């Protein structure tokens, strides 16, 4: 059962998964996600901690993409942007504008693909699920939506960061991008 509105239970660091455990853990996550979808709690991703399974495993199920994340980590991230109305099965009804990267490079141990690049919505979902495995929740990335003018389509190094931190871009999200 997907736990809801329990921040304390979700803020756990997950143990690595062994090859022998992989299939069974993915199967459990798939059944829980399918059950949630059947009862009207539609989701496209689910991580171990969301069902009190403290293992570093998550799944992403989009119409044409079925992705398993096992001991996965984000190696590089590019192009920070505000993602509007991010939600989480563990916090029904709550949506936030979040700062996410439009492109992430991922190392995925034990399952194929071992290394891949995710962009767009897939990048957001991968970041969301990997964050769950590292005790980070989507509202930790909450930002207020900045007002952009036609003259200000690009962010300069010395401009205020688009994430709303009030720091210069070069000292804020650009540093995250340089990792």
Catalytic amino acids? 129
Are the C-beta atoms of residues 162 and 82 closer than 8 Å to each other? yes
Residue 151: burial class (beta carbons within 10 Å; 0-12, 13-18, 19+): exposed
Burial-class residue 154 by CB neighbours within 10 Å (0-12, 13-18, 19+). Answer: exposed
Kindly give, in sequence order, each residue whose CB lies less than 8 Å from that of residue 159, ignoring residues fewer than 6 positions away: 152, 168, 169
Neighbours of 147 (CB within 10 A): 6
Q: What CA–CA distance (Å, rounded) separates 131 from 154?
A: 28
Unique residue bearing structure tokens 């003259």: 151
Query: Could you tell me the two tokens for 131?
Result: 């964050």
Provide the edge-to-edge strand list for the sheet that holds 65-70.
Answer: 45-47, 57-62, 65-70
């Amino acid at each position: 059962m997907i736990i809801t509105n329990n921040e304390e239970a979700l803020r756990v660091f997950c143990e690595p998964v062994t090859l022998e455990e992989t299939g069974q853990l993915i199967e459990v996550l798939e059944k829980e996600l399918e059950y949630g979808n059947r009862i009207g709690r539609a989701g496209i991703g689910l991580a171990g901690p969301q069902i009190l399974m403290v293992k570093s495993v998550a799944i992403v199920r989009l119409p044409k993409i079925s992705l398993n994340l096992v001991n996965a980590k984000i190696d590089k991230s590019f192009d920070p942007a505000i993602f509007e109305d991010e939600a989480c099965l563990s916090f029904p009804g709550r949506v936030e504008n979040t700062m996410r990267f439009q492109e992430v490079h991922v190392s995925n141990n034990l399952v194929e693909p071992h290394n891949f690049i995710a962009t767009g919505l897939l990048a957001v979902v991968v970041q969301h699920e990997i964050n769950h495995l590292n005790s980070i929740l989507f509202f930790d990335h909450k930002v207020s939506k900045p007002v952009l003018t036609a003259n200000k389509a690009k962010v300069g190094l010395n401009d205020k960061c688009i994430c709303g931190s009030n720091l210069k871009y070069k000292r804020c999200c650009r540093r995250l991008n340089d990792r």
